[in-house]
Amino acid sequence: MIDEQHIPQWKRDEVNKLMKLFEKYDTIAVIRMAGINDRQIQFMRKELRGDAVIKMSKKRLQKRAIEKYQEESGMENLSELEENIPGQSSLVFTNMDVFELKRIFEGNKWMIPPKPGAPAPVDIWVPAGDTGLPTGQVISELNMTLKLPTRIQNDTIWIREDTKTHEKGEIVKIKQASVLKKLGVRPVESVIKIHYAWSDGDLIPADVVYMDMEQFRQDIASAYATARQLAIGLGVIDSETIQPLVLKAHREAVALLMEMPIFDETMLDDYMKKAVANANMINSIIFGGGTAAPSPAKKEKKKKKEEKKEDEDDDEEPAGIGGLF
């Protein structure tokens, strides 16, 4: 082990600064710095001023500060935090909830040019219009490097139509990236991501930080409903099951009482309902559902028909000579 006396003073000062931040804040988030430019970090420092501190240090010094803080504080899970610090990372110290910190990061997305020599993360388009670039050698770069349709107007270079220069996944060559940067094309979304977090002894990995909260709520509600139904079926009594269990016991007691030769005046309505139901069932068995009584309207119609027939019979004249006229 290296003697503390042989460690450069600037390194010891850096570790002490990190130690003070560990002591002051409850939550430490590890963020990846790959692909994040300095301007974006400076902007986020201003946004988080008073609420969080973004501290960039060498990985070895970060780990040393964590080890030292764990020795002095006895806090849990700091060794796991140390193991989950990747290369090119910074520590964010804050007292705010880690999910709130994630929301702030996601609300401050930056659009940046594609990285030279890397696959395009999205389709890259150059929009039609005035590039603002003066005529000269640059026009050949636009035509030859990106194969853009150009024209000259008012001493500047114009792109005649929207042009796709790269498909998603296609390598952006160094010269192409340079020309795209000149044109101000920034198709790539840059967001500061939380790689790992530690909050007052609890570890919060990235898959928890970025979980689908709506799906999580639905899963919790479904699990609650299933567990409650199972508890009711098993007769487990607690604050969530006492009411449905009492109702279930009441229904079962009433059903049992209805089968016993006991008369309870308070259950007169139940007895009547059961008697009617039994009578209907017997009627259905014996008479096949019973014969439907004719409706009053049909009776009245039949009666009128019979009266009309009688009147017609009274008007008939007796057969004979008179009936011929």
Domain ranges of the chain: 4-109+191-211, 124-189, 215-285
Q: Is 228's pLDDT higher than 50? A: yes
CA distance 48 to 93: 10
State the Cα angle at 161 between 111 and 165, rounded to 5°. 50
Q: Is 317's pLDDT higher than 60? A: no
**Residue 33: per-residue pLDDT:** 86
Are the CB atoms for 105 and 194 separated by under 8 Å?
A: yes
Q: Which of 163-177, 232-246, 267-281, 293-307 has the lowest mean pLDDT?
A: 293-307
Render pLDDT for 8-48 as a digit per residue (tens, 0 to 9): 888 889 999 999 999 999 999 999 888 788 889 999 999 99
Are the CB atoms for 153 and 205 separated by under 8 Å?
A: no
Beta-carbon contacts of residue 264 (< 8 Å; ≥ 6 apart) = 257
Average pLDDT over residues 141-163: 92
**Tokens found for residue 76:** 């849990």
Render pLDDT for 121-140 as a digit per residue (tens, 0 to 9): 999 999 999 999 998 878 88
State the Cα angle at 197 between 88 and 78, rounded to 5°. 95
Judge if pTM exceeds 0.75: no
Distance of CA 139 to the CA centre of its chain: 47
**Residue 320: per-residue pLDDT:** 41
Neighbours of 145 (CB within 10 A): 17
Render pLDDT for 77-103 as a digit per residue (tens, 0 to 9): 998 998 888 888 899 999 999 999 999
What CATH superfamily is the domain 124-189? Ribosomal protein L10, N-terminal fragment, domain II (3.90.105.20)
Q: How many CA atoms lie within 13 A of 262 on its CB side?
A: 11
CATH of domain 4-109+191-211: 3.30.70.1730
CA distance 120 to 109: 18
Render pLDDT for 230-288 as a digit per residue (tens, 0 to 9): 888 888 888 888 888 888 887 887 777 777 766 666 677 777 887 888 888 888 888 77
